[in-house]
Amino acid sequence: MSSDQNAFDFATITLADLDRLDSTVINDLSFGVVGLSPEGLVKVYNQTESRAAGLSLDSVLNTHYFATTAQCMNNFMVAQKFEDEPTLDTTLDYVLTLRMRPTPVKLRLLKGSAAPLRYILILRSK
């Protein structure tokens, strides 16, 4: 693993980093990265997330994330926060229900006032 990748970890990576990094680096991050357009359509879906969720990039890209892929985040704790807050950088303990299995994760929600994409970072415990 290159030192460059180590520089980006779940807790410290910034919106600017996410917008700037090319897709190979994003794909190799150790945590899931989901980037959404202001309308909620999936624009970034990294390989880590794709593997963990068992969903191909093609099946997810440009779909409405909260309505189709992640109904379990379509609530006041996640989806609503993106609507309510002008900017966002918050980390929370959460439980995903992927394939009906309770999966404890840490979520980090990122939204800038001018940035084109909002991000959900998903850290699964090993």
What does the alpha-carbon distance between residue 108 and residue 92 come to, in Å, rounded to a whole number?
6
Contacts with other proteins, residue ranges (CB under 8 A)? 71-72, 74-77, 80, 93-97, 99-102, 104
107 contacts: CB under 8 Å, gap ≥ 6: 73, 78, 91, 92, 93, 94, 120, 121, 122, 123
Shortest Cβ distance from residue 4 to other proteins (Å)?
33
Phi, psi of 124 (to 5 degrees): -95, 140
Q: Name the residue among 13, 10, 66 with its Cα closest to residue 37.
A: 66
Shortest Cβ distance from residue 95 to other proteins (Å)?
5
What does the alpha-carbon distance between residue 49 and residue 105 come to, in Å, rounded to a whole number?
12
- Residue 96 or 121: which CB sits closer to other proteins? 96
- Residue 30 or 74: which CB sits closer to other proteins? 74
- Residue 62 or 71: which CB sits closer to other proteins? 71
- Residue 5 or 75: which CB sits closer to other proteins? 75
Shortest Cβ distance from residue 73 to other proteins (Å)?
8
What does the alpha-carbon distance between residue 44 and residue 41 come to, in Å, rounded to a whole number?
9
Shortest Cβ distance from residue 81 to other proteins (Å)?
11
